Amino acid sequence: RMPSCLLKLTRVVLSHKPWALIILIFLFVSFTYIKLFWDIWEDPRSRGPPYGLSAEISCAHYVPSPLNIAGGPSPSAGNVFFVETSEQTTPSYLFSCSVESAARTHPESRVLVLMKGMAKGNTSLPKHWAFSLLGCFPNVEIRPLDLTELFSGTPLRRWYLWPLRHWEPHFLAVLSDACRIVLMWKFGGIYLDTDFIVLKNLQNLTNALGIQGDDVLNGAFLSFKPKHEFMELCMQDFVQNYNGWVWGHQGPELLTRVFKKWCSLRTIKSMNCKGVNVLAPEAVYPIPWQDWKKLFEAVSALELHKLLKNTYAVHIWNKLSHGTKLEIPSQALLAQLYSQFCPATYAKMKQD
């Protein structure tokens, strides 16, 4: 026989059918959602080895010049980090160029590409030309991005584990913002967005970030020593002043407001303040985001040299430029950058 308490509950449910149905549906959907994302975020037992980069293409063809890496990366050289926070595992030409240009300009550093879409525990990469091409560079490593492990021991752990976080409109961008400041605080080194083309070695830019223009700092490039107090303040501000519904609030706006407090400033200019170096726009953002179309305009070799004379890397503003057709080969500024600084990727572009 049915227990009395269950019988009473059944009678109540039957007497309020519409509301009961709504409540049951809500509870079922909530439980399913939380179970799904808890499984996704479950902390793995081990980090696992890096993926093997099997070069299924001819490295001699794609890497025409010697890499000059005699003994591999130097343990004393800081790592260069790239992060892919989406499930994407089919790198674009620009992605490949970013990693290749960093590998060429930092032959004594490990270039670590952390990708959320890589299956943990699997040591083979998906079949894709970019992974084969990057396999030609002995200092490049592709690793799975273990977000639970990355955020552990930081103020961002509880922020990340909230089950409904994924529904925020700018979640992937905010997740990328979170990863970079935690990487810099935990490990130090250099962080770059996957839409940079690197022209020069960045290792001498220590505890540095760049002005993108209009009194705003940008975190697409960061270079810091591990456990730096500025990065610790950025993590604290990330949680205390969190707003995932406003584009850039956890990115450029966060870095800008923390630096203004750090130095008691109202406006930001190129300077060194309390051990943090703010680089002039031409260092890593020579093309302002408002002028991104200039990347697709033809320039002479002399104009290109003048434009990039004091530049370490060029940000391509992929969020704005990704749908624009680039003629290969051509005298377009971006085409010339590909040709000079990621020639293996450029060769693949021409072949395709």
CB 297 within 8 A of CB 333: yes
Lowest mean pLDDT among 30-39, 128-137, 254-263, 341-350: 30-39
Contacts of residue 149, defined as CB under 8 A and 6 or more positions apart, other chains included, come to: 43, 44, 47
pLDDT confidence band for 15 (50 / 70 / 90) = low
Query: Is 178 a member of any domain?
Result: yes
pLDDT (mean) for 204-224: 95
Contacts of residue 59, defined as CB under 8 A and 6 or more positions apart, other chains included, come to: 135, 136
Whether the ω angle into residue 329 lies within 30 degrees of 0, i.e. cis, is yes
Q: What is the pLDDT of residue 47?
A: 38
- φ, ψ for residue 344 (rounded to 5)? -70, -45
Query: Is 18 a member of any domain?
Result: no
What number of other Cβ atoms are within 10 A of residue 43's Cβ? 10
CA–CA distances in Å: residue 120 to residues 186, 209, 281: 21, 32, 38
Q: What is the pLDDT of residue 128?
A: 93
Residues 88-143 have pLDDT tens digits of: 999 999 999 999 999 999 999 999 999 999 877 666 788 999 999 999 999 999 99
Q: What is the pLDDT of residue 61?
A: 61
CA atoms within 13 A on the CB side of 251: 21
Q: Which of 333, 330, 248 is nearest to 293 (CA)?
A: 333
Residue 66 pLDDT greater than 50, yes or no? no
User: CA 316 to CA 97: how far, in whole Å?
Assistant: 11
Query: Is 64 a member of any domain?
Result: no
User: CA 341 to CA 100: how far, in whole Å?
Assistant: 8
Contacts of residue 143, defined as CB under 8 A and 6 or more positions apart, other chains included, come to: 50, 51, 112, 113, 114, 115, 118
Query: Is 114 a member of any domain?
Result: yes
Contacts of residue 282, defined as CB under 8 A and 6 or more positions apart, other chains included, come to: 310, 311
Query: Is 92 a member of any domain?
Result: yes
Lowest mean pLDDT among 63-67, 183-187, 216-220, 317-321: 63-67
Residue 236 pLDDT greater than 90, yes or no? yes
Q: What is the pLDDT of residue 133?
A: 95
Residue 7 pLDDT greater than 60, yes or no? no
CA–CA distances in Å: residue 237 to residues 51, 184, 207, 247: 34, 15, 18, 16
Full DSSP string of 245-294: TSTTTTTHHHHHHHHHHHHT-SS--SEEETTEEEEPHHHH--S-GGGGGG
Query: Is 323 a member of any domain?
Result: no
Q: How many domains does the chain have?
A: 1
Residue 50 pLDDT greater than 60, yes or no? no
Lowest mean pLDDT among 31-45, 47-61, 121-135, 308-322: 31-45
Query: Is 328 a member of any domain?
Result: no
Residues 138-167 have pLDDT tens digits of: 999 999 999 999 999 999 999 999 888 878
Residues 72-85 have pLDDT tens digits of: 555 556 899 999 99
Orientation of helix 93-105 relative to helix 333-341, angle to 10°: 50
Q: What is the pLDDT of residue 16?
A: 61
Kind plus residue range of the DSSP H or E element containing 311: none
Query: Is 111 a member of any domain?
Result: yes
CB 340 within 8 A of CB 100: no
Q: Which of 96, 154, 176, 27 is nearest to 342 (CA)?
A: 96
Q: Using alpha carbons only, what angle is made at residue 87 by residues 128 and 102, rounded to the nearest 5 degrees?
A: 60
pLDDT confidence band for 213 (50 / 70 / 90) = confident
CATH number for the domain that contains residue 229: 3.90.550.20
pLDDT confidence band for 30 (50 / 70 / 90) = low
Largest CA distance in the chain: 91
Q: What is the pLDDT of residue 97?
A: 98
Query: How does strand 189-192 pair with strand 313-315?
Result: unpaired
DSSP 165: G
The average confidence (pLDDT) of the chain is: 85
CA–CA distances in Å: residue 14 to residues 22, 24, 86, 250, 337: 13, 13, 45, 48, 70
Contacts of residue 184, defined as CB under 8 A and 6 or more positions apart, other chains included, come to: 191, 222, 224, 226, 228, 231
Residue 320 pLDDT greater than 60, yes or no? yes
Q: What is the pLDDT of residue 72?
A: 55
Domain housing 166: 75-281
